[in-house]
Amino acid sequence: MIDGKKRKVMFLIYSLCGGGAERVLVETVNRLPKDRYDVTLMTLFHDDTRAGMLSPEVHYRPALRVKNGRAQKILSGIMQYIIPPKWLYRWFFRSDADVEVAFMEAFPTKILAYSTNQHAKKYAWVHIDVQTYTKQDRLFRSMRHQKACYERFDGIYCVSENVQEAFSAKFGLTERVHVAYNMLDEQAIRRRKNEPVDDIPKGEFLMVSVGSLIPRKGFERLIHVCGLLKSRGYHFHLLILGKGELYEDLAMQVIDEHLQGSVQLLGFRDNPYPYMAAADLYVCPSYVEGFSTVVSEAVVLETPVVTTDCSGMREILGDSEYGLITQNTEESLFEGLRTMLDKPEVYQYYQQRVRERAPFFYMEERLKAYEEILDQ
């Protein structure tokens, strides 16, 4: 609070439709003490997917309420690549907040770098390994321009040590660059895992994977690995939860690999926890991550994990102490899943170890860390 008044905080993210970062932001704004913070969440487009999950005390301000997918794509391109960010801030995202937070790379960071709110502290969040995943670079005129945008912020918070190292290596920035682990509401996760669902298959070894259906998440190689496992006589069921640009391609791949009885694309679920809790194994096939929210949630739910080696995984699982980390290749992912299917003693080991790891993600300490950032 400032002189007895609530501290006004504005968070900006592209949309609430998506994966881990969006879910983390919803949980974060919901849990910030409302007697101390007046919280506004801004997005480019309105999204019904998670807007209904926001606390009534959080002010939700989408810039545009356009639901047509084609119109969204056209407007998004114009706003991201043509209209100067200073104009966008003035027209759509202007605030009188004491703190402004760009909660994702690229568009939110570019907009708030040109904020005209002179009295606000400004912070940028980085969720990805910016050296490995470079798609966001296209929104800036040059690397120099992108670096200059980050230099306008009072603090830059990376979601893992790996992400921090990659960020500093790419931009040569170390001052004001810190680590802030994602916040998870473990009590809500455990409560919501008990909500009834009626489409969880029974009887076979159940694997679950959750995320946006986009190239960097690696779902195409997970499906191919499942094809290899099935061709070798393994019996299992894989549920993939999520939506995105690759849905049709992945659905066709399931047919091409003759996996209709073994792999299901369930689409987006606003509550993935009953599926993750029911799973024998959570699988993350990503090429790139920052600090995987969904893998962290799997650990909270005490579901054994097999994941490719991405940024943040060793901070979550140790050096394969609490979950099996494979090399970031299709072949190694295949071997990791085969190990879990073939060797009950290995699977049981990770069942026990993941239970021991769950308290690492409890919220209270991380909430305190966020409050310290916002109170600076």
Do residue 198 and residue 172 come from a single domain?
no
Res 121: pLDDT: 98
Give CA–CA dist 220/111, Å, rounded.
33
Q: What's the one-letter identity of residue 32?
A: L
- Tell me the helix, strand and coil percentages in the chain, rounded to 5: 45, 20, 40
Q: What interhelical angle do 20-31 and 293-300 show, nearest 10? A: 70
Mean pLDDT throughout 68-89?
Answer: 84
Do residue 209 and residue 285 come from a single domain?
yes
Q: Read out DSSP for 11-47? A: EEES-S-SSHHHHHHHHHHHHS-TTTEEEEEEEEE--
Do residue 234 and residue 327 come from a single domain?
yes
Q: List, in sequence order, the alpha helices (H) in 123-177.
A: 143-151, 161-171
Q: What is the DSSP secondary structure assignment for residue 54, as one 8-state letter?
A: S
Identify the domain boundary among 135, 152, 180: 180
Do residue 150 and residue 14 come from a single domain?
yes
Do residue 92 and residue 224 come from a single domain?
no
Q: Considering its fold, how many domains does the chain have in total? A: 2
| 280, burial (CB in 10 Å: exposed 0-12, middle 13-18, buried 19+) | middle
Do residue 150 and residue 38 come from a single domain?
yes
Identify the domain boundary among 151, 180, 209: 180
Q: Which residue has the tokens 């592209």?
A: 14
Residue 62 above 80 pLDDT?
Answer: yes
Res 135: pLDDT: 86
Q: Which sign does the torsion angle of CA 334, 337, 341, 345 carry?
A: positive
Q: Identify the domain containing residue 272 by its residue range.
A: 187-361
Residue positions counted in the chain: 376
Residue 287 above 90 pLDDT?
Answer: yes
In-domain check, residue 371: no
Distance set, CA 185 to CA 29, 157, 248, 281, 359 (Å): 11, 20, 33, 21, 12
Do residue 268 and residue 296 come from a single domain?
yes
Task: Provide φ and ψ at 101, rounded to 5°.
Answer: -120, 120
Give CA–CA dist 260/256, Å, rounded.
9
Q: Which residue has the tokens 């393994």?
A: 234
| 220, burial (CB in 10 Å: exposed 0-12, middle 13-18, buried 19+) | middle
Q: List, in sequence order, the alpha helices (H) in 173-312.
A: 186-192, 219-231, 247-256, 273-278, 293-300
Residue 18 above 70 pLDDT?
Answer: no
Do residue 305 and residue 240 come from a single domain?
yes
Contact 109, 89 (CB under 8 A): no
Q: What CATH number is associated with residue 319?
A: 3.40.50.2000
Residue 15 above 90 pLDDT?
Answer: no
Res 113: pLDDT: 96
Mean pLDDT throughout 297-313?
Answer: 96
Do residue 330 and residue 227 come from a single domain?
yes
Q: Read out DSSP for 311-345? A: TTHHHHHTTTTSSEEEPSSHHHHHHHHHHHHH-HH
Res 3: pLDDT: 62
Res 68: pLDDT: 64
Of 124, 89, 88, nearest in space to 103 by CA? 124
Residue 226: pLDDT band by 50, 70, 90 thresholds?
very high
Q: Which residue has the tokens 């001052």?
A: 175
Mean pLDDT throughout 255-278?
Answer: 96
